[in-house]
Amino acid sequence: QKEVEQDPGPLSVPEGAIVSLNCTYSNSAFQYFMWYRQYSRKGPELLMYTYSSGNKEDGRFTAQVDKSSKYISLFIRDSQPSDSATYLCAMSAFPGYSTLTFGKGTMLLVSP
């Protein structure tokens, strides 16, 4: 079993839909959780950084962490075709970005 599991998709939704992307993990030491967006033939870019359990909102994006279930989510409201990309979760037992464990990524396709 991999430390971080993420459904590769693709997840296809119509424009304006609410999108839910999820990761599960097995390492209870993970405390810092990140979501990255990666467009085709580009490097990942950081969307959200959260610590421990709870919710964090930034514009149309909401990150949710449930450490008791070892489950994290990223919600995208009012999805746009420009949101079409691969979304990678990443996590670490330590603050900072030096020891990240990434999920495989979920490909999201938002159709106009």
Partner 1 sequence: EAGVVQSPRYKIIEKKQPVAFWCNPISGHNTLYWYLQNLGQGPELLIRYENEEAVDDSQLPKDRFSAERLKGVDSTLKIQPAELGDSAVYLCASSLDSLGIAGAGEQYFGPGTRLTVT
Distance from the Cα of residue 87 to its chain's centroid? 6
Residues 72, 4: Cα–Cα separation, whole Å: 10
Of 5 and 60, nearer to partner 1 (C-beta) is 5
Residue ranges binding partner 1 (CB under 8 A)? 4, 6, 8, 32, 41-46, 49, 51, 88, 90, 95-100, 102-105
Of 29 and 112, nearer to partner 1 (C-beta) is 29
Of 89 and 110, nearer to partner 1 (C-beta) is 89
Smallest gap from Cβ 70 to partner 1, in A, equals 17
